[in-house]
A and B are shown apart, each in its own frame.
Chain A
Amino acid sequence: MKTPSNSIKRRFALKFLRTLVRIRKSTHQPSPSQSSTWEIRRRAQRIKLAAYSSMARTVGSKRAWSRALTMKLRAAMGNRPWSMIKQESKKMTRRKLIAKRKRHMEKDLNSGVQELRRLVPGGQWMDPLSLMQETAHFLRCLETQVRVMRSIVAEGEGFPC
């Protein structure tokens, strides 16, 4: 469980910064400072997605949550045709949810576990055991992500707007 270690932090920082730079270059050029709120929001959304995706790519496909996240983000970014993804995910959902939900439902922890499933990418298809595992890993990666982003922001705020 030591995986989200320093190296992951570094790799994530690199990936994220690259994407960030690209995003900012691409979106800043027209009107760097006086962008509308809509523009800012859109950019923020993209940055957020970029952060998640670079985290997922950093972790790789070993983890279920990163796989699910990558899928989701791909869908969100429109890199794959929507219909395809929809169909695929729907099929998966049908099959797995019906099978697994029945089996793994916990009565006492139900609400909490359900909430957790919603939060952890790909959590709907996990049984509680792997859900816990993935949650732990996801949590640590999220912490790393926040830390990196915070340091970037702190760095950036040294500059006057």
Chain B
Amino acid sequence: MEGNIGIPVAMEVDPSGQGSLSSCFFDPRWDNSISMEQIDPFDSTRSSIVSSPVASSLGAGEGDGGMIKELIGRLGVISSGSSGHVSPQPFLGHMSTNNSTNGSSFTTPLNSPPKLSLSTMGHRIRGSFPPLSEDCLVPFATDPGFAERAARFSSLGSRDFAVGLDGKNARVSSSIVEGGDSWEGSSLSEQVHGGETGNVKKTQHVDVSAKKRKLVQRGKLDAVTPKGSEVSGGNNHTSTKKIKSCQAAEKEGSGKEPDEREAMAAREEKMQKHGKDSHSKQQEPPKDYIHVRARRGQATDSHSLAERVRREKISQRMKALQDLVPGCNKITGKALMLDEIINYVQSLQRQVEFLSMKLSTLNPRMDINMEAFLRKDIFQSRESILPTDSSPAHVFPYGLLPSHGTIAAISPVQLPENLLDAATTPIHRSPTIHFPHIEGFSTVPSQVLGVWEDDLQTVVQMGIAPNLQPISFHLGAGSTEPNHGQMKVES
């Protein structure tokens, strides 16, 4: 409980919820560290607590559910057995117990606009940015006893109070999203320094002292209202991006400024990622979508964004390529990597050349062995011999050339067409596979038509050798089986 406990409250519209009444989703977090990190995601989502039921024109898309789940998952600790989805109603109820006012502690101080603030953009950036410690959702009354009581009731309440107790700086940033489907709207973020607010009651007075900042998305500033007068303290930047630069000024602690800046950068990135028309609820991007982060000062027009995306893609593929090339992992730099890849391809091609050279000079007995190879793979070597036709056209049957079926037709023995298909599927290597090579073959151009085996493990051997004396087959060197059965082929 000590230390600053960030209490991000994300209110999200439950897609399943009824249109007008959106269920609010609160994620309470106890853990300091967690809260720190998680604030980012919620950063913009930190919703103002809405006293009135949220106007639910928020187009609750599918993404919300996923986002909620994600948030829940991320939240390591969900306090006090709240499943994480707390419908606004119960929440209000808890608060009411404390305050005896219908508005929850949250709601009252903030006096938030009826709209539900929902910003989804933040989550992408999480992790990359240091925790925004200041972001505590709402510092409420610091009454310890009250806090404890509240803790019992609801996780949310407990959190709030804890925060209040800490007296740390609490920043409440609430983004208010216009009811429009586009999600565009002004977001209002309010910062409340816990220290200042430490003694402040839950009432709205807290807000008065609190510093507020407005986030304006896309230049739309809606006076949706939040806390009327108090809002004025915030700076409004209308620009293509929402700018939060003012936050830094508002912050008191020196240490907090960097955080804020990062938050700003984060938001800018978000904006860039999503583009102008992006939906804020696009929390779960499609997998193949590449997000480009633009740092400050980087160009953000569509062309440079597209270019950045392209470069990103290229570097991704380069990385994939890098994995393929051995020894390329240590190399950094695209040019060197390209060189390495080129070298590798060239070496492979040289190897192909060398190997084909070797193949061409191999012993002719090799031919039979290769046929054995084919059989070993249970491929039918139907065309092991073309009787007399050795024209180049047949040697290189690129698609235009006769298929194997026709070749088989040429050959005296016609093998069933489905044999090949059947042969490819099962690999059962029967013990009777033979890897014959022919003795004395070099002198006699024998034509061994085909040797195959079927499921019955019978070896059928057909040979056509015009001028052939019986050739004895025995197992070649490559055979795994010391089966020296001799097979005779008679012409």
Give the shortest distance, in Å, between B322 (CB) and chain A (any CB): 10
Chain B, 77-97, CB within 8 A of any chain A CB: none
Q: Quick check: B345 and A139 within 8 Å, CB to CB? A: yes
Determine whether A156 belongs to the interface, using a CB cutoff of 8 Å to chain B.
yes
Secondary structure of the B contact surface, majority rule? helix
Q: Quick check: A74 and B398 within 8 Å, CB to CB? A: yes
Known: A18-B381, A132-B317. A25 touches B386 (CB 8 A): yes
Q: Which residues of B contact A85 (CB under 8 A)?
A: none
Q: Which residues of B contact A158 (CB under 8 A)?
A: 369, 476-478
Given A26-B386, A51-B355, A135-B321, 13 other A-B contacts at CB below 8 A?
A13-B373, A21-B384, A22-B386, A40-B357, A50-B356, A74-B398, A77-B392, A79-B400, A136-B320, A139-B324, A142-B352, A159-B365, A161-B361
Give the shortest distance, in Å, between B251 (CB) and chain A (any CB): 41
Q: Chain A, 128-160, contact with B by CB distance < 8 Å: what is the 0/1 string?
A: 110011011011101101100110110111111
Chain A, 108-125, CB within 8 A of any chain B CB: 108-109, 111-113, 115-116, 119-120
Give the shortest distance, in Å, between B169 (CB) and chain A (any CB): 47
In the bound assembly, the distance between CA atoms of A32 and B444 in angstroms comes to 10
Determine whether B1 belongs to the interface, using a CB cutoff of 8 Å to chain A.
no
Q: Quick check: B445 and A29 within 8 Å, CB to CB? A: yes
Q: Quick check: A142 and B314 within 8 Å, CB to CB? A: no
Interface residues of B (CB under 8 A from A): 310, 313-314, 317-318, 320-321, 324-325, 334-335, 338-339, 341-342, 344-346, 348-349, 351-353, 355-367, 369-371, 373-374, 377, 379, 381, 383-386, 390, 392-401, 404, 437, 442, 445, 476-478
In the bound assembly, the distance between CA atoms of A61 and B367 in angstroms comes to 30
Q: Which residues of A contact B310 (CB under 8 A)?
A: 129
Q: Quick check: A109 and B396 within 8 Å, CB to CB? A: no
Q: Which residues of B contact A155 (CB under 8 A)?
A: 366, 369-370, 373, 478
Q: Which residues of A contact B381 (CB under 8 A)?
A: 18, 21
Could you jot down 13 A-B contacts, CB within 8 Å? A18-B404, A21-B370, A22-B386, A22-B394, A26-B390, A28-B364, A28-B367, A33-B442, A44-B359, A48-B356, A79-B400, A128-B314, A138-B345
Point out the residue from B321, B383, B442, B478 that lies within 8 Å of A22, measured CB to CB: B383
Interface-central residue, A29, A115, A132, A160, by most chain B CB under 10 Å: A132
Give the shortest distance, in Å, between A73 (CB) and chain B (any CB): 6
Point out the residue from A70, A116, A153 that lies within 8 Å of B338, measured CB to CB: A116
Known: A120-B345, A159-B369. A112 touches B335 (CB 8 A): yes
Q: Which residue of A lies closest to B315 (CB)?
A: A132
Q: Which residue of B lies closest to A139 (CB)?
A: B324
Q: Which residues of A contact B396 (CB under 8 A)?
A: 19, 46, 49-50, 53, 73, 77, 79
Q: Which residues of B contact A160 (CB under 8 A)?
A: 363
Q: Which residues of A contact B339 (CB under 8 A)?
A: 112
In the bound assembly, the distance between CA atoms of A142 and B356 in angstroms comes to 13
Chain A, 24-77, CB within 8 A of any chain B CB: 24-29, 32-33, 40-41, 43-53, 57, 70, 73-74, 77
Q: Quick check: B373 and A152 within 8 Å, CB to CB? A: yes
Q: Which residue of A lies closest to B400 (CB)?
A: A79
The 8 closest A-B pairs by CB, nearest first: A112-B338, A26-B390, A132-B317, A43-B360, A47-B356, A48-B356, A158-B477, A149-B355
